[in-house]
Amino acid sequence: MSTALREAAKAGELTAEQREAVRDLILVLADSKRLLGMRYGNWMLGAPELEAGIACASMAQDEWGHARLLYALLKDFGEDVDALEHGRTAAEYRSIEALDAEPGSWPELVAVNAFVDLALTLQFEALAESNYLPLRQRVQKVIEEERFHAAHGAAWLRRIAASGDEGHEAMKTAIAAITPIVLRWFGPDSNRANAIHDASLIDAVGSDMRSRYVERAAALLRDIGGAGAFGDLEPDFSTFDEATRRTPGTSPDERTITQIRGDRNREFLMD
């Protein structure tokens, strides 16, 4: 391992390689948080109970808050934050592929809550001691707020599993679709990943993240009697773009991105 970098108060203090990798990671996380907020938000009025709908509203608000904290950081990397937030097409989004489509049922949303939100939180935990100070200073707040999301996801997971009806099957099918995407999303142990790991900008490379995820997700799966839903622990990265953490040519649905951009709201701007 090379010598650890000293603390960086600004992105300009990182090497070009580190800067690009950290910037890409922040954008991937920000876009994923934004999409996840939309997915939660759409269930504010469709959840099976009033309390669950309110929880979705609250989680959506948190996710958008986290996205805002992250987008704001990208100014330090010379980005036009307003253009990033409001000027991109669906094809330019870097959100995790497991959020590309709207969950079609409540059990599918619960699968997202428990298994996609977990992946994002684990990635934040790996940044809790980052040498890039502005990021580290924001991570703890995110992790604290995520505890409630994890508790909500786990509680509903068990509840749906205990019901034993078709909702349980729908949830298991959704989990089986999510986990391989997440395991690949953590990325290969590449030179790029090692460059930021060696500089203590992050405390894990892809394989570490996969181990952590499997450990935490397995505990959830045990609770619902559905072990063995993981895909290959050595994912196929042949179509994987490390910068976007996606397969090129894929994207979230355009309708959702139009809503996120706020195209229709712009008609009401008081310019």
Residues that bind another protein (CB under 8 A): 9-10, 61-62, 64-66, 68-69, 72-73, 75-76, 81-82, 133-134, 136-138, 140-142, 144-145, 269-271
- Least gap, CB of 250 to another protein (angstroms): 28
Closer to another protein by CB, 5 or 72: give it.
Answer: 72
Alpha-carbon distance values, 240 to 156, 165, 188 (Å): 32, 36, 9
Element (H, E) at 105: none
CB within 8 Å of 23: residues ≥ 6 apart: 11, 74, 77, 79
For another protein, the closer of residues 8 and 217 by Cβ is: 8
**Cα-based torsion angle of the residue sequence 24, 28, 29, 34 in order, rounded to the nearest 10 degrees:** 140
CB of 204 to another protein, least distance (A): 21
Q: Report the alpha-carbon distance of residue 29 to residue 31 in Å, rounded.
A: 6
Residue number with CB closer to another protein (79 or 253): 79
Helix (H, G, I), strand (E, B) or coil at 109: helix
Nearer to another protein, 68 or 216 (CB): 68
User: Which residues on neighbouring strands pair with residue 132, listed in sequence order?
Assistant: 8
Give backbone dihedrals phi and psi of 105, rounded to 5 degrees, phi first: -150, 165
Residue 44, SS3 per DSSP: coil
| Nearer residue to another protein within complex by CB, 97 or 146 | 146
Minimum gap (Å) between residue 61 Cβ and another protein? 4
Residue 111 Cβ vs another protein, minimum distance, rounded to whole Å: 24
Measured from the CB of residue 269, what is the shortest distance to another protein in angstroms?
Answer: 5
